[in-house]
Amino acid sequence: MKYSYLYKRHYAHVMKIKATLIACTVILAASCQNNNFPQGKWEGVTYGKLCSVIDENSSDRPEYNIDEKPYAIFDLDNTMVIGDLVKSLFRYQVMNLKFKFTPEQIHSVLSEGIPNLDMIIHKESITIGMLIDDVSDDYSYLYENYIAASYYGTSGLRFKDILSTNEYQDFCAKMIALSKGISKKFSYEKCCRWHLNALKGMNRYEADVLSKTAVQYLISLGDIHTVSLQSHFSGHCGIVKTHYREGIKVIPEMVSLMKRLRKKGFDIYVISSSPEEMVESIACNPEYGFNIAPENVYGTRIDADKDYIQPVGLGKPLIIKKNIMPQYGNREPVIIAGYCPSDQDMLTFLEKTQLVLVTENGHDDCSRSHPKRGNRTYVHQVWDR
């Protein structure tokens, strides 16, 4: 009986200690969650560095000065969302025939900025010029039978009827092959400008409506999937087979990061080469969770004033230097984040930025070494599709 009594007392004591430890663990976990943001799919080192930099500049610190607020700058494409908005918009235009230029203009629109139309970009013998010639022939039919009617209210085929025509299928396959080939052969800056040529003929309102409609559709898909295409006319190129990835996905980890930054007293800016209306429809829309102020968004503008700096290539660092830094006494951002292949200019020109976040999509050939300037720390994050 004596041993039984002692055993029961010991067991009760052990269980009390165990309950206390569990309670402490729960409290500690809640405290960590409260002090940081959900780790989700963040790489361990990257997550730790982000937490540290945020804490070191947080509004919770006694030395925080609201007149000298910290701020962070983000790219959008493949940084805040998975997907390239410029190319996604172009593909949406192609598949839905959302163009405003005439058949007489298409050749000059597609060849603008291309130094050599004889450059081979598909398979072993298909050149840029050959693809442009074939899609120009298709476009004449599509414009006369559908595109002009959709804009000007004249008689023409319904969209569901145009989908089954050989001209539509040939046009789509060869336009996407042209887009992919140019993306591989030229710099991101030149590639971006080329894809935006597809908006020629539209005013800013028309581009705005198109961009927002495209974003809504692409995000509504819920995931990114592969679309396969095949042409039906030989033309100059022969039969062309190609494919592309369709869809845009908001990255929840980036939503959580921005909520944390805002809660800790940071201002947030978004600079993207994509059309500004398209960027705002994601970055500023409460539905997607980023909640960026429209005045803090810089994107490519249609019919822009001559003084507006277009955020393509060196335009991004120029916007930071001329438009943003003067608002903060010429202090650099605490955090800057961008996509590995396209944001090198923005990611490497500053010297005092504390943390540079380089994002990749799992398909990029990106070196993890960057020019060392000042005391910057580089961290990487791969967002798998």
Amino acid, res. 1: M
Cα separation, 126 vs 79, in Å, equals 33
| Per-residue pLDDT, 344 | 76
Give the mean model confidence (pLDDT) for residues 100-114: 96
Helix (H, G, I), strand (E, B), or coil: what is residue 217?
A: helix
| Per-residue pLDDT, 362 | 61
Q: Which residue has the tokens 């080469």?
A: 273
| Per-residue pLDDT, 21 | 45
| Per-residue pLDDT, 339 | 87
Per-residue pLDDT tens over the stretch 126-148: 999 999 999 999 999 999 999 99
Q: Is the pLDDT of residue 35 over 90?
A: no
Query: Treating both helix axes as pointing N-terminal to C-terminal, what angle do 85-96 and 166-185 enclose, rounded to 10 degrees?
Result: 160
Cα separation, 75 vs 305, in Å, equals 22
- Contacts with 5 (C-beta within 8 Å, 6 or more apart), sequence order: none
| Per-residue pLDDT, 9 | 54
| Per-residue pLDDT, 6 | 47
The DSSP letter of residue 115 is S
| Per-residue pLDDT, 363 | 57
pLDDT category of residue 56 using cuts at 50, 70 and 90: very high
| Per-residue pLDDT, 12 | 55
Q: Where are the beta strands (DSSP E) in the chain?
A: 71-74, 81-82, 120-122, 126-127, 225-230, 241-246, 249-250, 267-275, 297-300, 335-339, 355-360, 377-382
pLDDT category of residue 114 using cuts at 50, 70 and 90: very high
Choose the most confident range, by mean pLDDT, from 23-32, 62-71, 147-156: 62-71
Cα separation, 21 vs 69, in Å, equals 40
pLDDT category of residue 287 using cuts at 50, 70 and 90: very high
Give the mean model confidence (pLDDT) for residues 298-320: 90
Per-residue pLDDT tens over the stretch 162-174: 999 999 999 999 9
| Per-residue pLDDT, 369 | 46
Cα separation, 240 vs 172, in Å, equals 10
| Per-residue pLDDT, 298 | 97
DSSP letters spanning 303-367: T--TTS---STTHHHHHIIIIIGGGGTTPPPSEEEEETTT-HHHHHS-SS-SEEEEEE-SS----
The mean predicted confidence, pLDDT, of the chain is 87
Per-residue pLDDT tens over the stretch 311-370: 988 899 999 999 999 999 999 999 999 887 677 778 888 888 999 999 987 655 554 445
Per-residue pLDDT tens over the stretch 202-243: 988 998 899 999 999 999 999 899 999 999 888 999 999 999
Residue 255 vs residues 282, 285, 289, 292, 378: alpha-carbon distances, Å: 11, 12, 6, 11, 21
Instruction: Specify whether the CB–CB gap between 137 and 235 falls below 8 A.
Output: yes
Amino acid, res. 142: L
Instruction: Specify whether the CB–CB gap between 368 and 382 falls below 8 A.
Output: no
Q: Is the pLDDT of residue 2 over 90?
A: no
| Per-residue pLDDT, 376 | 66
| Per-residue pLDDT, 227 | 97
Instruction: Specify whether the CB–CB gap between 265 and 287 falls below 8 A.
Output: no
Instruction: Specify whether the CB–CB gap between 353 and 336 falls below 8 A.
Output: yes
Q: Is the pLDDT of residue 100 over 60?
A: yes
Q: Is the pLDDT of residue 72 over 60?
A: yes
Amino acid, res. 118: D
Give the mean model confidence (pLDDT) for residues 157-164: 93
Q: Is the pLDDT of residue 26 over 90?
A: no
Q: Nearest CA to 239 among 360, 123, 95, 76?
A: 123
Q: Is the pLDDT of residue 84 over 50?
A: yes
Q: Is the pLDDT of residue 306 over 60?
A: yes
Cα separation, 291 vs 115, in Å, equals 41
Instruction: Specify whether the CB–CB gap between 379 and 370 falls below 8 A.
Output: no
| Per-residue pLDDT, 29 | 37
Cα separation, 88 vs 245, in Å, equals 9
